[in-house]
């Protein structure tokens, strides 16, 4: 048995020894280097640009500006192409732009013999601007007479709403009504590897892009759209990736670097962002504000809920309104009520473009929702845990809009487990009537999360398996390993289903759109679920073909045989008949019957599954300084059946760390007068270090998800969702003061403590 056991990562050795090759480890002959000339205003137009000095610098091969690129616009979001125009991503990008929409917008690019020369040349470019006041808030974006960041949009990227039940009547019948407002912040992914790619034209005239991307097949299409060429003239190769967390679910550098190679007659051109560029020119998480209104009866049962959301999208659409819309679905799916209403709109602002980031809108909405649920429970004097348990959706619940059925739900058990781990009741008693400058508190928060994007989005996963002459197999998939461990679990799945040991499974680590099976990429916590279905189908086909071939070798019917631990056996007795290697060798080289055993599967997953879980935490708050220390934290998940428990725990550790940073430290700041970023570097942008990271408890309640290929469902993104509201609720428990905005920095805490009379 391979599924359910902890195997070491199949890419672990090459990564820890430094043998793994990332984009910037790979060099081509005559490689050139590109750098981008960026705007020094946030909103306006380029009136004049002078590139003469840059072109004259020795070592400069070419300089291009917004005047030299195709005039049509294209989208960048890493979504499958939609045949329905209403569901297509917004095409609002040019390769280079004259209309400046954020500080650091891309106006011109230099190609030079080395990176230093390219940087020098960029500094020689001179531009004159017509500058407007930056639009940095929802109010400024929507006010009458506001300059449109994109013409004809009124600064609205998109909006939607849903309404289930008679909301007004439900509110009128409730015993209590509560209203509040919550704000989340702009943060950046801060993957170890910055955005980077290089491109060249091969001998057949095809543009090849080697990129650190989560979406090679989608990136190929976007490059084709951006350059206005047939998509088949583009090839995208993804080597090892140093993290993405959603920021590489956009075609950020690929379209421009593909264009630049055409300017220098197909010579290889590398475009690598610096860390400072990555902060402002790749993608960030949406800052979303929520207004919540909740009706509840005195017995603690929810009656009705309303939410209004305003999402700040930055200068370009990227994933656009889909993040705010997605947050509305999880707002609906965690709790029951008679009636519910959700309205949202996404707005253009003069800030970095917001796109996908781990959780895809759910860390934002769960901060608001779970903070609000805590406040409501306290206001009606019901234990917050009891209140949540009364109202959570249960197994068998069916979403009235998406029609997703909850086939497995261990949330109640997760809550009970978290309560036990934190010793909730014991600590509640110990922490009553605290005084003094340091106070402790405990808190918890729940989450719900989908597995993939169906029915909103297409979910295609591809897998190809070839049996080698010795019975081992090669597994090739289109889904991208970006650090989460998917290659390892795919090997486990293949081994489990075929009936061979893990050491007989080999996986191709790179993706290449000319060779790899079609797969939409790494996002939406979909891979082990969606691509896992394709791997299982391909492995079942390999097993079936192997037993059929063995039938021809032995005259024993295939149905009477099985494969266990690399041996063909009698199904009824377990007697070993022959090693699988013998079958494989014959299938390759039998002069009469040779037929190598292969499978190539593409699976369209028209199902979805909700994952659930919670965070329990104890904090200590130093009231005079506003410092919060996380003393104990447990992240408990119902992710269905665990394929690899050790890798699952690793996902939790990483996600919780991101969630704590989101709660207490991280925020990208901008000058309100100029729109200039103030902390787009790793000195001033406060990421947690290992010294700041507490011990993290990763726990699981294993259920069996009937739609999953092995009973599994989402785990990649959920760990980052609930730490922030749990920490917020623990601070409230310690101090009696509510904080409705992240990050909960010392400055913000001290200001509210002063207002509350604690200082």
Provide the CATH number for the domain around residue 120.
3.90.1170.50
221/99 same-domain check: yes
Question: What is residue 343's predicted lDDT score, i.e. its pLDDT?
Answer: 98
Q: Confidence class of residue 116 from pLDDT cuts 50, 70 and 90?
A: very high
65/204 same-domain check: yes
315/440 same-domain check: yes
> Collapsing DSSP states into helix, strand and coil, what is residue 446?
strand
Residue 528 falls inside a structural domain? yes
Question: What is residue 370's predicted lDDT score, i.e. its pLDDT?
Answer: 98
**Residue pLDDT, tens place only, 123-164:** 999 999 999 999 999 999 999 999 999 999 999 999 999 999
Contacts of 260 (CB under 8 A, 6+ apart): 34, 62, 64, 109, 111, 199, 269, 271
Q: Confidence class of residue 395 from pLDDT cuts 50, 70 and 90?
A: very high
Range of the domain at 105: 13-132+195-272
Question: What is residue 560's predicted lDDT score, i.e. its pLDDT?
Answer: 98
652/594 same-domain check: no
Average pLDDT (374-392) is 98
Q: Which two tokens stand for residue 498?
A: 């075929």
The helix (H) or strand (E) run that includes residue 55 is helix 52-56
263/332 same-domain check: no
Counting the structural domains of the chain, the total is: 3
**Residue pLDDT, tens place only, 606-633:** 999 999 999 999 999 999 999 999 999 9
Pair type for strands 505-507 and 473-477: parallel
Nearest to 628 by CA among 714, 746, 524: 746
Question: What is residue 204's predicted lDDT score, i.e. its pLDDT?
Answer: 94
**Residue pLDDT, tens place only, 640-669:** 999 999 999 999 999 999 999 999 999 999
The helix (H) or strand (E) run that includes residue 345 is strand 339-348
612/597 same-domain check: no
Question: What is residue 654's predicted lDDT score, i.e. its pLDDT?
Answer: 97
448/332 same-domain check: yes
- Can you give the CATH number for the domain in which 360 is found? 3.30.365.10
Average pLDDT (389-399) is 97
Phi, psi values for residue 384, rounded to 5°: -60, -30
Question: What is residue 201's predicted lDDT score, i.e. its pLDDT?
Answer: 98
Q: Which two tokens stand for residue 597?
A: 């055993």
Region of 431 please: left (phi>0), alpha (psi -120 to 50) or beta: alpha
Mark which of 574, 604, 634 sits at the end of a domain.
Answer: 604
> Collapsing DSSP states into helix, strand and coil, what is residue 529?
helix
Question: What is residue 25's predicted lDDT score, i.e. its pLDDT?
Answer: 97
Phi, psi values for residue 472, rounded to 5°: -70, 165
Question: What is residue 84's predicted lDDT score, i.e. its pLDDT?
Answer: 93
Whole-angstrom distance, CA of residue 708 vs CA of residue 641:
9
Average pLDDT (13-39) is 97
What Å distances lie between residue 204 and 231, 266, 267, 751, CA to CA? 14, 11, 14, 64
pTM beyond cutoff 0.75: yes
As a whole-number percent, the residues of the chain with pLDDT over 90 amount to 100
Window from 172-176, 379-383, 687-691 with minimum mean pLDDT: 687-691
Residue 688 falls inside a structural domain? yes
Residue 31 falls inside a structural domain? yes
Q: Confidence class of residue 207 from pLDDT cuts 50, 70 and 90?
A: very high
631/725 same-domain check: yes
127/267 same-domain check: yes
405/266 same-domain check: no
Question: What is residue 75's predicted lDDT score, i.e. its pLDDT?
Answer: 98
Mark which of 562, 586, 604 sits at the end of a domain.
Answer: 604
Residue 377 falls inside a structural domain? yes
53/199 same-domain check: yes
Phi, psi values for residue 402, rounded to 5°: -80, -20
Residue 173 falls inside a structural domain? no
Question: What is residue 190's predicted lDDT score, i.e. its pLDDT?
Answer: 98
599/611 same-domain check: no
Whole-angstrom distance, CA of residue 660 vs CA of residue 728:
10
Indicate the Cα dihedral angle 561, 567, 572, 574, nearest 10°: 170
**Residue pLDDT, tens place only, 700-749:** 999 999 999 999 999 999 999 999 999 999 999 999 999 999 999 999 99
Q: How many CB atoms lie within 10 A of CB 204?
A: 8
Question: What is residue 101's predicted lDDT score, i.e. its pLDDT?
Answer: 98
């Amino acid at each position: 048995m391979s599924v359910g056991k902890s195997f070491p990562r199949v890419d672990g050795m090459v990564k820890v020894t430094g043998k793994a090759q990332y984009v910037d480890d790979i060099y081509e002959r005559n490689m050139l280097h590109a750098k981008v000339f960026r705007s020094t205003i946030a909103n306006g137009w380029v009136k004049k640009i002078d590139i003469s000095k840059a072109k004259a610098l020795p070592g400069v091969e070419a300089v291009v500006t917004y005047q030299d690129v195709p005039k049509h616009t294209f989208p960048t979001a890493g979504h499958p192409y939609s045949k329905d125009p209403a569901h297509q991503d917004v095409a609002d990008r040019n390769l280079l732009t004259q209309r400046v929409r954020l500080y650091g917008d891309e106006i011109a690019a230099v190609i030079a013999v080395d990176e230093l020369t390219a940087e020098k040349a960029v500094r020689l470019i001179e531009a004159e601007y017509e500058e407007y006041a930056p639009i940095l808030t929802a109010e400024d974006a929507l006010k009458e007479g506001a300059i449109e960041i994109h013409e004809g949009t009124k600064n609205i990227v998109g909006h939607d709403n849903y309404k289930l039940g008679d909301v007004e009547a439900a509110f009128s019948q409730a015993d209590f009504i509560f209203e509040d407002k919550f704000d989340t912040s702009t943060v950046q992914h801060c993957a170890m590897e910055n955005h980077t790619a290089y491109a060249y034209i091969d001998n057949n005239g095809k543009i090849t892009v080697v990129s650190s991307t989560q979406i090679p097949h989608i990136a190929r299409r976007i490059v084709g759209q951006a350059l206005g060429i047939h998509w088949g003239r583009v090839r995208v190769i993804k080597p090892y990736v140093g993290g993405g967390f959603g920021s590489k679910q956009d075609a950020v550098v690929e379209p421009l670097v593909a264009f630049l190679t055409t300017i220098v007659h197909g010579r290889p051109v590398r475009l690598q962002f610096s860390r400072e560029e990555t902060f402002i020119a790749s993608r960030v998480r949406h800052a979303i504000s929520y207004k919540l209104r909740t009706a509840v009866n005195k017995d603690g049962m929810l009656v009705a809920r309303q939410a209004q959301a305003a999402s700040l999208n930055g200068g370009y659409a990227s994933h656009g309104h889909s993040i705010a819309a997605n947050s509305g679905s999880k707002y609906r799916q965690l709790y029951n009520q008679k009636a519910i209403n959700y309205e949202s709109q996404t707005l253009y602002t003069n800030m970095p473009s917001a796109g996908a980031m781990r959780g895809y809108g759910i860390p934002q909405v769960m901060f608001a929702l779970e903070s609000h649920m805590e406040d409501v429970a306290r206001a009606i004097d019901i234990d917050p845990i009891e209140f949540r348990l009364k109202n959570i959706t249960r197994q068998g619940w069916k979403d009235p809009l998406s029609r997703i059925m909850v086939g497995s739900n261990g949330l109640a058990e997760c809550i009970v487990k978290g309560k036990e781990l934190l010793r909730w009741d014991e600590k509640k008693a110990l922490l009553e009537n605290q005084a003094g400058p340091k106070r402790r508190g405990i808190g918890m928060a729940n989450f719900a999360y989908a597995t993939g994007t169906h029915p909103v989005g297409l979910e295609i996963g591809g897998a190809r398996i070839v049996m080698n002459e010795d019975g081992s197999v090669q597994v090739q998939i289109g889904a991208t390993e970006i650090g989460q461990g998917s290659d390892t679990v795919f090997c486990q799945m293949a081994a489990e289903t075929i009936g061979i040991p893990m050491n007989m499974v080999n996986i191709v680590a790179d993706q290449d759109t000319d060779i790899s099976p079609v797969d939409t990429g790494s996002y939406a916590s979909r891979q082990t679920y969606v691509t896992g279905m394709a791997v299982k189908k391909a492995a079942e086909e390999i097993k079936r073909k192997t037993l059929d071939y063995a039938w021809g070798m032995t005259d024993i019917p295939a149905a009477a045989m099985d494969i266990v631990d690399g041996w063909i056996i009698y199904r009824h007795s377990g007697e070993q008949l022959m090693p699988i290697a013998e079958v494989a060798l014959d299938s390759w080289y039998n002069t009469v019957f040779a037929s190598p055993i292969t499978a190539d599967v593409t699976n369209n997953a028209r199902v979805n599954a909700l994952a659930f879980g919670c965070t329990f935490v104890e904090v200590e708050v130093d009231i005079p300084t506003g410092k919060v220390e996380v003393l104990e934290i447990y992240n408990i998940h119902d992710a269905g059946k665990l394929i690899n428990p050790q890798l699952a725990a690793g996902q939790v550790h990483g996600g919780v760390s991101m969630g704590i940073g989101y709660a207490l430290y991280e925020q990208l700041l901008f000058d309100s007068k100029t729109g200039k970023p103030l902390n787009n570097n790793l000195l001033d942008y406060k990421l947690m270090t290992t010294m700041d990271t507490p011990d993290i408890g990763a726990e699981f309640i294993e259920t069996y998800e009937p739609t999953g290929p092995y009973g599994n469902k989402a785990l990649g993104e959920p760990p980052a969702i609930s730490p922030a509201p749990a920490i917020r609720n623990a601070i409230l428990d310690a101090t009696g003061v509510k904080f409705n905005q992240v990050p909960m920095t010392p400055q913000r805490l001290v200001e509210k403590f002063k207002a509350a009379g604690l200082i």
